[in-house]
Amino acid sequence: MRVLIAAIACQPKGGSEGYVGWSCVNAISMDHEVHVITSGMCQKEIEAELATHPRQSKMSFSFVGEPFRWHENRLIARAQSWMQYARWVREASETARKLCEEKHFDILHHITYATWRMGTPLSGLGAPLIFGPVGGGEKFPLSFLQMLSPLAVIFELLRSSSGWLATKNRRVTDSMSTASLLLANNRETEKLFQSLGVPTAKTKIMSQSFLSEERMEQLRCAEKKSDPKEKLIVFAGGNLEGRKGVAIVLRALSILSHSKVPYEFTYGGKGPELSHLTRLARKLSLTDANVKLGQVLTQENYFRELKRAHIYLLPSLREGAPITMMEAMAASCVPVVGKCGGAAMLVNEDCGRLIPITTPSEMAEEIADKLRSLWENPEALKILGESARLRVKEKCSEDYYRKQINDHYRNVALKEHAGI
């Protein structure tokens, strides 16, 4: 099939959404001819990659927008990204319209940004449209605002308000009404679609994130992990935002310290909450030797940290499709995560521990109890780690993504042909 893709974030060497966009485009091109509308920010990197890419003849790109300089504060940069995205959607809509007039596409597919809040530049163009997988239906529990920095509180309140405003946006409503299929990357977003009147038959669950075979192999632990009884090694990573629940982690580690469990916690990544969390760590008498926040790691060192860690700990309070957690599981880390979003769909008791979203103090106590229990039973920890690796290999592989998306393409195309 010939597929027109919208993916503002699409970076061969990028992380987060950029990695998702490129991974999806790369996987889809294995079975189809693709034309991708993406950001001008990605142009140099994509053109360099295409020069030696084995499927360059099946991949073409339109670059919309000029490179942009982001603010150093990542929370402010997030607000910038939304303004840039709104502009990009408008400009990309015109590009998509012209492309559809010039060429025939069997499928239109929106990939990134993986959010429903701005709709897609591909709506209303005639061909069958797949919107997603996208998230954004997750809600931050307002009772947890007390643990955030003032800036993070403002961000979460604005995000809640923007969700209501987005339901009144013409482009959003058009995207939902004209899409042949809406893919939600978690159950909260699926419920949101249905609450907005999208027929159940038009919605399905599918993760936007997966790991290539190359990434899986890079993360595979070739050597045995150290004895957790000597020191329990705990890791988490990503943009250090309030929603990640790291304030709860610090309270849990404080409880664990009183239990005489030897541990080391590293957070790989900086973000807007770093100063707030550093002050909290000092207040809880957590030492730099035990707790390392805001560590900037190269990819090589990041992979090394995952391979040496026993546990991946991140009780996010709202979560989409967490690729960092998938990478940790591929490195045989046992996930101890919040019971919400994409994490709750992937993790089960056979490979990790889900922490119910209750109150900050209750979650901290439960996390400390789970860590203590796993430390006391190294053999169970080892079995869970291997199960986590196999779980990701089964549910988050490139082949699994291709099978799912190809099924959706065929079904949508058949319905279009049948006039359903």
Tell me how far CA of residue 14 lies from CA of 22, 81, 167, 240, in angstroms.
Answer: 8, 16, 31, 18
Do 166 and 99 share a domain, yes or no? yes
Do 183 and 95 share a domain, yes or no? yes
How many domains is the chain built from? Answer: 2
The model's pTM is 0.90
Q: What is the mean pLDDT of residues 13-38?
A: 92
Do 44 and 172 share a domain, yes or no? yes
What pLDDT, in 10s, does the model give residues 174-202?
Answer: 899 999 999 999 999 999 999 988 999 99
* 208 in a structural domain: no
Do 389 and 401 share a domain, yes or no? no
- pLDDT attached to residue 143: 93
Do 165 and 190 share a domain, yes or no? yes
Place 83 in a pLDDT band, splitting at 50, 70 and 90: confident
User: Cα(136)–Cα(319) distance, rounded to whole angstroms?
Assistant: 9
What pLDDT, in 10s, does the model give residues 40-80?
Answer: 989 999 999 999 999 999 999 999 987 666 656 556 666 67
Do 223 and 311 share a domain, yes or no? yes
What pLDDT, in 10s, does the model give residues 263-307?
Answer: 999 999 998 899 999 999 999 999 888 999 999 999 899 999 999
Place 155 in a pLDDT band, splitting at 50, 70 and 90: confident
* 177 in a structural domain: yes
Place 419 in a pLDDT band, splitting at 50, 70 and 90: low
Q: What is the mean pLDDT of residues 245-250?
A: 96
What DSSP character marks residue 69?
P
Do 406 and 371 share a domain, yes or no? no
Do 118 and 234 share a domain, yes or no? no
pLDDT at 118 > cutoff 90? no
- pLDDT attached to residue 68: 65
Do 22 and 160 share a domain, yes or no? yes
- pLDDT attached to residue 74: 59
pLDDT at 9 > cutoff 80? yes
- pLDDT attached to residue 67: 66
Per DSSP, the three-state class of 62 is strand
Q: What is the CATH number of the domain that holds 105?
A: 3.40.50.2000
List b or e across 4-31, with b for residues whose CB sees 16 or more CB atoms inside 10 angstroms. bbbbbbbbbebbebbbbbbbbbbbbbee
Beta bridge partners of 370: none
* 262 in a structural domain: yes
Count of other CB atoms within 10 angstroms of residue 166 = 18
Q: Is the peptide bond before 378 cis (omega within 30 degrees of 0)?
A: no
Domain encompassing residue 113? 2-140+150-202+397-418
User: In the sheet that 311-314 helps form, which strands lie side by side, from edge to edge?
Assistant: 291-295, 263-268, 232-237, 311-314, 334-338, 353-355
* 386 in a structural domain: yes
Summary mean pLDDT of the chain: 91
* 207 in a structural domain: no
* 145 in a structural domain: no
- pLDDT attached to residue 112: 94
What pLDDT, in 10s, does the model give residues 169-178?
Answer: 888 888 999 9
Do 19 and 83 share a domain, yes or no? yes
What pLDDT, in 10s, does the model give residues 367-401?
Answer: 999 999 999 999 999 999 999 999 999 999 999 99
Contact 354, 347 (CB under 8 A): yes
Do 234 and 245 share a domain, yes or no? yes
- pLDDT attached to residue 370: 97
Selection from 17-21, 109-113, 116-120, 171-175 with the highest mean pLDDT: 109-113
Do 320 and 295 share a domain, yes or no? yes
User: Cα(56)–Cα(58) distance, rounded to whole angstroms?
Assistant: 5
* 225 in a structural domain: yes
